[in-house]
Each structure stands twice: as C-alpha cells, then as structure tokens.
Amino acid sequence: MKATSLVIVMLSLCTFSFISCDDNNEEGRKITVYKESVLTVASEKVPGVLWSDGFDYLSEVYAVKKEQSEEWSAFGPIDGFEFERGYEYQIRIGETSYQDYSMGTPAWTERELLEVISKDKKDSDNLPLHFIPEAFYDNIPLPQYRYTVDADNKELVEQDLEENSLIPLDYHVMFYRSEDNCLRWIALKDDNNIFGPYIIQTKSKAPEEMPESYKLLPLEANIVGYGEWTFLDESGTTIDNFSFDVFMGYANKTKSDMPVANTIYLYKDLTEYYQTKYSEADVKTVVVSYKVSSDSF
C-alpha cells in the first residue's frame, strides 16, 4: 500500500479510537520525527531511485540542495509543491516521519510545502545526469541484438549494422513513469554515459499490421501485445530514426500458471534506409530487433 493511502486509512481509524493513535502508544501509528528545512530545488527533474514500502524504484525525482550542502541529491514528492521546469526554487518544507507498530509497516516520511521563498527562471548549475546507483541497474541484462539482411552485397550492410546499432549494446535499458504517467526510457553505462532520457509515445496496433519482414526474425516468447513506440525529447520533438514496433513477451509458465510480462522486443524494418544508403548493394530486406528486460516497469 502506498504511504498516502495508508495515512488515509489510519486517519479514518483515528476518528473511532483516539487512544490507538496516541503518540505514546507503541501499538499504533506514531510520529517519530518532525522537522522543517529549506531546500534549493533544481530547474529540471532527473531520473533517480527512491524508496517506498520497503522497495527501491526508478522514478523522475527532484534534484535538491539541502541546507549547508553544495551537492545535489535526489528527493521525492512534496505535497502542495507545484513544480515548473526551467525555474530554480528555494522552498521551506515540513517533514513528518511515521511508524505504525500495529500493522508492522516500514517507517515512512511525508513532506509538505510550507513556503515558496523564491522562484527564479534559470538553468541550475552542475546537475548530475541521474541519481541511479550502479547496484540498481548493473544486473539488468544488456540488449540482445539481432538482424537479418537480404542483399547482393550482404557483408556491406551487416558491417554497417554492427558498427551503427540504433541502441547502444553495452548500456542497461530501463523504463519508468513520470508524475504525469508518461512512460520514459533511459539507458545507462555509468554515471557519465547515458542514452536518454526520452519520453515514449505509445500507440496500439492490430496483429495484422505487423510487416511480413518481421517473420524473418522469429520472436522467442508468447506475444500478447503489439504496438508502436516513438521516442521524444523533453520538448516533445521526435528523435530522428528512433521509433520501433514493440512486442510484449510473456513467459510460457509461472508458478501460479499466470502469464507474467518479462521481455520487450523492439523491431524496425530498415529496408528503405539501406536501399538509399547503399543503392549499389541491391538491398531487398533489412530488419533489426532488440530484446530488452521489462523488469524496471
């Protein structure tokens, strides 16, 4: 249960039993810490890892500088704070930490805006590219790349495909959702090498719309979803030549005998592209495919 939902439930219980919610009662909900602080909030959000209900999860986070600190750090939701990209803020917030002993839930903290001290239109300096620790993405499998080529000069096209993969093959691909529920993509190699982040514009497709050329690279799982993903930058501009047909793959069996999504297959027919690029190669068909993990959804 999300922290906000849990608070609503507990407040309802308090209307019937003030004793169970008393701060001195170790058997019920208890405020453990309350403090106020002033934060500098950066002009852009960045991908980062937050903690909730005992789990780490990837999200779009605030970059903040806390009092007496010169370093940016990741920060989660702030109730009542209406953030606008392109502006750097100084705000005062209240932080209330809770523990619920009777329900055995992990401790959690809620943050509330108390005051907007300043709002300046500027690009914040020295923002990190992300707040994602290596331990979070290091075990995510690298993309599995396949392609098929039918051309008189097949070697020429295959060499180009090897040297110019659309997706970097040594980067860990992850997906997450922003506060506006937009699906986003980021691929990481380390702190200084990232691909993205990009907004994913999704579109459903009927199975009969699948190009015949894709059958030359057979799928390796049961497929129950088919659509199209177009990748956009933060301004909503389409990334050149970076859209894919997408298949959602499912494991054949699970312990509960229920299908569980575990793989995404990205497909693209590049026939026209290579017919133009290498007109002398007599290109008939070129299809590429990337298999990426969906564990970070």
The DSSP annotation for 217-265 comes to S--SSEEEEEEEEEEE-TTSPEEEEEEEEEEEEE-S--TTS---EEEEE
Instruction: Give the distance between the most distant pair of CA atoms in the chain.
Output: 84
Single residue among 121, 148, 179 that ends a domain in this structure: 121
Supply the pLDDT for residue 103: 56
Mean pLDDT of the chain: 84
Is 244 inside a domain boundary? Answer: yes
Query: Do 50 and 185 sit in the same domain of this protein?
Result: no
Query: Do 154 and 76 sit in the same domain of this protein?
Result: no
Structure confidence at residue 260 as a pLDDT band (50, 70, 90) = very low
When pLDDT is averaged across residues 154-160 and rounded to a whole number, the result is: 97
Which amino acid does the sequence have at 202?
Answer: T
Closest-CA residue to 289 (of 245, 259, 229): 245
* Rounded-to-integer distance, Cα 288 and Cα 223, Å: 18
Which pTM value belongs to this model?
Answer: 0.78
Single residue among 121, 149, 178 that ends a domain in this structure: 121
Query: Do 115 and 139 sit in the same domain of this protein?
Result: no
Whether 128 contacts 193, CB under 8 Å:
no
CA 175 to chain centre: 4
Structure confidence at residue 295 as a pLDDT band (50, 70, 90) = low
**Enclosing domain of residue 42:** 3-121
pLDDT tens-digit series, residues 166-181 = 999 999 999 998 877 8
Query: Do 148 and 279 sit in the same domain of this protein?
Result: yes
Query: Do 139 and 259 sit in the same domain of this protein?
Result: yes
> How many structural domains does the chain have?
2
* Helix (H/G/I), strand (E/B), else coil: 191: coil
Single residue among 58, 90, 121 that ends a domain in this structure: 121
